[in-house]
């Protein structure tokens, strides 16, 4: 295809504003997929994505479209994830295309992820076509939302396209705008091959599939190619495009997006942002790379049944093959036995991986509270990275501790602003900015990531009845008065319940935790002290009193079946417990104890 007849674009939107529905309509109206094969949300392929209605992995599709000028165009759409955890994938896939459709729900207006995503598009120098979606709804207010796009984002929205992705209004206009308003890619056919590695994932039949954008030159089946970052050479088994099913084609030329397979064993061997060239007569100038996504949230994953440890290892290794942004190493916990310390891009990423292990591999898990990475500055001048509060070095060797901070942007209707400010303040936030966009306030806070990873988003949703939107980016590390708080049950520290807290909040947090644990741990035949401590000093204490009688005593030995039922129930309850010293701790305690209300 000549460059002038190619358009590469992405769709950026806040979650639920209709990105996937619009993609479906574009695919359907161009007969890319036969109607009988059309299912909703063509591009969201993983089960979890479908169930939660979110897109996790970026997906692409190639659409052929005959425009009003009578010419046939090739439109390549990259669908990007909408969630804040995956901002990194958004920014890198933007570099593979020249334009974006900016979809805004005309009943809602600009939200936090609209802003975050459109900034990625602007960073990648995209031409942007605003699309006002859901105009079929009575609450649609296109004029107001267009004005808001101009005010808040600062791009011209006077010729925004008015669309209903649901009913199909404006789809034709959208396709025309892609052809007439977005630029064609550039590139040179007879230059040495230069292809950008946009994404890669593992397929159980084909091995690693690599999504590439050809910048210069031509890629053919059978070519010998070199990955410039590590110098490895591979033989190309197949190349093709997504329609959206994988379809093999003979060549990929400049400006095109497609896939290759080359008997690559692991996703880890393919670096996103790498440049692929030919082994012979290749280019010597690599494209500017991206820096790899770093896990920011860590937690322990332990099998409920310790006999399933090897199964868990197997599951984690398999998942890691397809997700290079997820890290893991073995961990042993006195409380929980053998497990893994895993690193994730954010909480959603954590939940997705945990769900997949439980669901696809059928392993019950205990997840310990998520934590961030602290920089521990030692008195001898070295810096240690702390991924697990349980590993906190002896304080006498520690000079100071630094924690990661974020810049959070929250958009919220006026009436909830007070609650949002209070929440941010409670989480040690420092207000940086407060402006208005229509009837919405936009607040920017500098917050410790630690205060956000656990339940901030849930709390934000609950205090604003779901009306707030939220996005964040990491800004750097800063010193603060942080301490490790240990929890002792029956005088023994439970390592999996250790947390890092701010000195000033330790007592309140500690008291809340021991109170919660007192409710969560069942009574035993003896009394159990539950304490929170910093170093050797106890800062909060509760005592769980001893159970007086056998639970079956009240059955008077009369009703045998009732007695058996009770005992069975107790046994089932036991299975979900972890014995710690002489005390059984239910698995939910490891998460619930840390929730702040
Ligand atoms: P995404 O999160 O941006 O991918 O949003 P989806 O495409 O999943 O859409 C979110 C919800 O809005 C779904 O329930 C869609 O059916 C609905 N939706 C999308 N477009 C329209 C539209 O034009 N009109 C109406 N009424 N609903 C829409
Ligand atoms: Mg979607």
85 CA to middle of ligand 2, Å?
Answer: 15
Ligand-binding annotation for 18, yes or no, is yes
Ligand-binding annotation for 19, yes or no, is yes
Of 72, 54, 56, 55, residue with least CA distance to 64 = 72
49 CA to middle of ligand 2, Å?
Answer: 8
13 CA to middle of ligand 2, Å?
Answer: 9
Ligand-binding annotation for 106, yes or no, is no
Q: What percent of the chain has pLDDT over 70?
A: 87
Q: Mean pLDDT across the chain, nearest whole number?
A: 86
pLDDT given for residue 555 in this prediction? 45
Q: What percent of the chain has pLDDT over 90?
A: 49
The dihedral formed by the CA atoms of 56, 62, 67 and 70, expressed in degrees to the nearest 10: 180
Shortest-distance atom of ligand 1 to CA 163: 23
Name the closest-CA residue to atom 6, ligand 1.
18
Which ligand ends up closest to the CA of 25? 1
Q: State the average pLDDT over residues 11-24.
A: 90
The first and second tokens of residue 51, run together, are: 């169930």
User: From CA 316, how far away is CA 313, in angstroms rounded?
Assistant: 5
Q: State the average pLDDT over residues 401-421.
A: 93
Ligand-binding annotation for 44, yes or no, is no
The first and second tokens of residue 546, run together, are: 């001893």
At residue 391, does pLDDT exceed 80?
yes
User: From CA 257, how far away is CA 244, in angstroms rounded?
Assistant: 12
At residue 347, does pLDDT exceed 90?
no
pLDDT given for residue 56 in this prediction? 47
C-alpha to C-alpha distances, 328 to 48, 260, 318, 366, 466, nearest whole angstrom = 21, 28, 12, 15, 33
pLDDT given for residue 204 in this prediction? 74
39 CA to middle of ligand 1, Å?
Answer: 14
> Greater confidence, 47 or 457?
457
pLDDT tens across 539-569, in order? 999 999 987 655 554 444 455 565 566 555 5
pLDDT given for residue 562 in this prediction? 59
Ligand 1 is surrounded, with C-beta below 6 A, by 13, 15-21, 53, 82, 133-134, 136-137, 164-166
At residue 248, does pLDDT exceed 80?
yes
Ligand-binding annotation for 576, yes or no, is no
176 CA to middle of ligand 2, Å?
Answer: 23
User: Please, what's the largest Cα pairwise distance for the chain?
Assistant: 91
User: From CA 74, how far away is CA 4, in angstroms rounded?
Assistant: 10
User: From CA 392, how far away is CA 329, in angstroms rounded?
Assistant: 17
Q: Does an H or E element contain 233, and which?
A: strand 233-235
pLDDT given for residue 195 in this prediction? 96
Q: Does an H or E element contain 399, and which?
A: strand 398-413
Q: State the average pLDDT over residues 21-45.
A: 73
pLDDT given for residue 153 in this prediction? 87
Ligand-binding annotation for 134, yes or no, is yes
Please classify residue 380 by burial: count the beta carbons closer than 10 Å to its beta carbon, then call 0-12 exposed, 13-18 middle and 19+ buried. exposed
Global pTM reads 0.73
313 CA to middle of ligand 2, Å?
Answer: 31
pLDDT given for residue 266 in this prediction? 81
Name the one residue in this structure whose structure tokens are 């929730």: 595
- The least confident of 55-59, 92-96, 170-174, 479-483 is 55-59
Look at the alpha carbons of 125, 127, 133, 139 in this order and tell me if their dihedral is positive or negative. Answer: positive
Tell how far CA 405 is from the center of its chain.
18
Which ligand ends up closest to the CA of 15? 1
Beta bridge partner(s), residue 331: 339
Q: State the average pLDDT over residues 112-139.
A: 92
Question: Residue 291 — φ and ψ, nearest 5°?
Answer: -85, 140
Look at the alpha carbons of 393, 395, 400, 404 in this order and tell me if their dihedral is positive or negative. Answer: positive
At residue 57, does pLDDT exceed 60?
no
- The least confident of 89-93, 273-277, 405-409 is 89-93
What ipTM is given for this predicted complex? 0.99
Name the one residue in this structure whose structure tokens are 């800063």: 478
> Greater confidence, 458 or 185?
185
Of 177, 201, 217, 249, residue with least CA distance to 26 = 177
Name the closest-CA residue to atom 9, ligand 1.
18
Which ligand ends up closest to the CA of 49? 2
At residue 79, does pLDDT exceed 80?
no
pLDDT tens across 188-212, in order? 999 999 999 988 887 778 888 999 9
Beta bridge partner(s), residue 450: none
pLDDT given for residue 440 in this prediction? 81
12 CA to middle of ligand 1, Å?
Answer: 14
Which ligand ends up closest to the CA of 44? 2
pLDDT given for residue 560 in this prediction? 59
pLDDT tens across 413-467, in order? 889 999 999 999 999 999 999 998 767 889 999 999 988 887 788 788 889 887 8
528-533: long-range contacts (C-beta < 8 A, 24 or more apart)?
Answer: 528/489, 528/490, 528/583, 529/488, 529/489, 529/490, 529/491, 530/487, 530/488, 530/489, 531/487, 531/488, 531/491, 532/485, 532/486, 532/487, 532/488, 532/506, 533/485, 533/486, 533/487, 533/488, 533/493
10, 14, 18, best to mutate for ligand 1 pocket (most atoms within 8 Å of CB): 18
Shortest-distance atom of ligand 1 to CA 167: 23
Kindly provide the residue ranges of all beta strands, DSSP E only, lying in 119-162, ordered along the sequence. Answer: 127-133, 161-162
Ligand-binding annotation for 528, yes or no, is no
16, 77, 81, 108, best to mutate for ligand 1 pocket (most atoms within 8 Å of CB): 16
- The least confident of 46-60, 84-98, 233-247, 501-515 is 46-60
């Amino acid at each position: 295809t000549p460059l002038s007849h190619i358009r590469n674009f992405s769709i950026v939107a806040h979650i639920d504003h209709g990105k996937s529905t619009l993609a479906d309509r574009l695919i359907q109206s161009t007969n890319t997929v036969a109607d009988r094969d059309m299912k909703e949300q063509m591009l969201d392929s993983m089960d979890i994505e479908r169930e939660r209605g979110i897109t996790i992995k970026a997906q692409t599709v190639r659409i052929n479209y005959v425009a009003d000028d009578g010419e046939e165009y090739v439109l390549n759409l990259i669908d990007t994830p909408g969630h804040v955890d995956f901002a990194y994938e958004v920014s890198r896939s933007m570099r593979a295309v020249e334009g974006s459709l900016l979809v805004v729900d005309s009943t809602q207006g600009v939200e936090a992820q609209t802003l975050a995503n459109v900034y990625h598009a602007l960073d990648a120098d995209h031409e942007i076509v605003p699309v006002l979606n859901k105009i079929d709804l009575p609450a649609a207010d296109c004029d107001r939302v267009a004005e808001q796009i101009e005010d808040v984002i600062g791009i011209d929205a006077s010729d925004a396209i008015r669309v209903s992705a649901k009913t199909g209004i404006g789809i034709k206009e959208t396709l025309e705008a892609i052809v007439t308003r977005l630029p064609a890619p550039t590139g040179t056919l007879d230059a040495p091959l230069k292809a950008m590695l946009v994404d890669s994932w593992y397929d159980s039949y084909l091995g690693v599939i690599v999504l590439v954008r050809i910048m210069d030159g031509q890629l053919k089946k059978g070519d010998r190619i070199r990955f410039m970052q590590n110098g490895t050479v591979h033989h190309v088994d197949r190349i093709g495009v997504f329609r959206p099913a994988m379809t093999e084609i003979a060549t990929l030329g400049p400006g095109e997006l497609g896939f290759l397979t080359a008997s690559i064993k692991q996703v880890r061997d393919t670096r996103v942002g790498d440049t692929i060239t030919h082994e012979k007569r290749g280019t010597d100038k690599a494209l500017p790379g991206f820096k790899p996504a770093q896990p920011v949230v860590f937690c322990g994953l332990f099998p409920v049944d310790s006999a399933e440890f090897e199964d868990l290892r197997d599951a984690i290794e398999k998942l890691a093959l397809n997700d290079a942004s997820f890290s893991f190493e073995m961990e042993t916990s006195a409380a929980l036995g053998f497990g893994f310390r895993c690193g994730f891009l954010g909480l959603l990423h954590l939940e997705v991986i945990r769900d997949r292990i439980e669901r696809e591999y059928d392993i019950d898990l205990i997840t310990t509270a998520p934590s961030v990475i602290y920089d521990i500055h030692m008195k001898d001048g070295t810096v240690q990275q702390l991924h697990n509060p349980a590993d906190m070095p002896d304080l006498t060797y520690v000079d100071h501790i630094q924690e990661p901070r974020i810049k959070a942007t929250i958009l919220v209707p006026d009436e909830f602003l007070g609650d949002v400010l209070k929440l941010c303040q409670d989480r040690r936030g420092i207000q940086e900015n407060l402006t208005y966009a229509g009837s919405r306030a936009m607040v920017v806070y500098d917050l410790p990531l630690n205060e956000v990873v656990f339940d901030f988003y849930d709390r934000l949703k609950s205090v604003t009845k779901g009306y707030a939107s939220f996005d964040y980016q990491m800004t750097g590390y800063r010193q603060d008065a942080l301490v490790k708080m240990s929890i002792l049950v029956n005088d023994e520290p439970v390592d999996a319940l250790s947390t890092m807290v701010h000195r000033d909040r330790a007592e309140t947090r500690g008291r809340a935790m021991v109170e919660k644990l007192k409710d969560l741990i069942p009574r035993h035949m003896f009394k159990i002290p539950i304490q929170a401590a910093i170093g050797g000093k106890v800062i909060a204490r509760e005592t769980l009193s001893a159970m007086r009688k056998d639970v079956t005593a009240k059955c008077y030995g009369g009703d045998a079946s009732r007695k058996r039922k009770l005992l069975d129930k107790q046994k089932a309850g036991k299975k979900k417990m972890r014995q710690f010293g002489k005390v059984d701790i239910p698995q939910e305690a490891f998460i619930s104890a840390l929730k702040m209300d």
